[in-house]
């Protein structure tokens, strides 16, 4: 996205999974360009607001794809540090541990290493984004009735990757000089999911990064 000072470097442009592209020329592409232009102004609260006359589902879809791509790239830069040995469980600090289940292939939550969990998670998200019945990219194709609940689950799970990076891998982020990029991306994510008109994540889910959220968002009240 527009605010990434380090993405041009070959090291940090590595993505963990294939990037999800919004088709050029589509209405969603125009929405993405609008979002990027507003982000460029530096006002993140304005950037997350639903543009006048736009469909809420479509706006949530475009931003969800964009956050998937951002987190994908951020995690891609630290995969060397997130290993079976360094992270035998998927955690966000000592109090929070996540077990994986997707409700279809893995119904009962399983305990697994962070790299394995994040691989499951990002593959699952990618499958949702690629499903045209869930995330239609063609104009005029309606979003399904359960779209918002799927989007909320995706965003809830993407948050866990941010939480893991902040809690377990912040030192390499600093070494790679990506702290500003991570903070901006996360702040944008938080403003989006907490916007009163969307209310996309339950506050309890955000507990592992509550102090950071308060610190990052208090400057913009």
Binding residue ranges for Zn(2+): 82, 87, 164, 169
SS3 217: helix
Binding residue ranges: 82, 87, 164, 169
How big is the chain, counted in residues? 221
Please report how the helices 147-168 and 114-130 are oriented relative to each other, as an axis angle in degrees rounded to 10. 150
Please tell me the distance from the alpha carbon of residue 111 to that of residue 97, in angstroms, as a whole number.
9
CA nearest to 59, candidates 174, 197, 170, 165: 197
Please tell me the distance from the alpha carbon of residue 20 to that of residue 162, in angstroms, as a whole number.
19
């Amino acid at each position: 996205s527009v605010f990434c000072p380090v993405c041009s470097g070959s090291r940090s442009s590595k993505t963990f999974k294939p990037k999800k592209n919004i088709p050029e020329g589509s209405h969603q592409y125009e929405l993405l360009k609008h979002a990027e232009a507003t982000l460029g102004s530096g006002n993140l609260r304005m950037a997350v607001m639903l543009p006048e006359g736009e469909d809420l589902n479509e706006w949530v879809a475009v931003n969800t794809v964009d956050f998937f791509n951002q987190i994908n790239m951020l995690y891609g830069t630290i995969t060397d540090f997130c290993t079976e040995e360094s992270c035998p469980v998927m955690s966000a600090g000592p109090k929070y541990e996540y077990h994986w289940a997707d409700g279809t292939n893995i119904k009962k939550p399983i305990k697994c290493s962070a790299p394995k969990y994040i691989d499951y998670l990002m593959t699952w998200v990618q499958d949702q984004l690629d499903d045209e019945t869930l995330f239609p990219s063609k104009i005029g194709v309606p979003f399904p009735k359960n779209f918002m609940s799927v989007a909320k689950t995706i965003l809830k799970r993407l948050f866990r990757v941010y939480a893991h990076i902040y809690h377990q891998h912040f030192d390499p982020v600093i070494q790679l000089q990506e702290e500003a990029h991570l903070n901006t991306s996360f702040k944008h994510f938080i403003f989006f999911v907490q916007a009163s008109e969307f209310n996309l994540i339950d506050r309890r889910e955000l507990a592992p990064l509550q102090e950071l959220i308060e610190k990052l968002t208090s400057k913009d009240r």
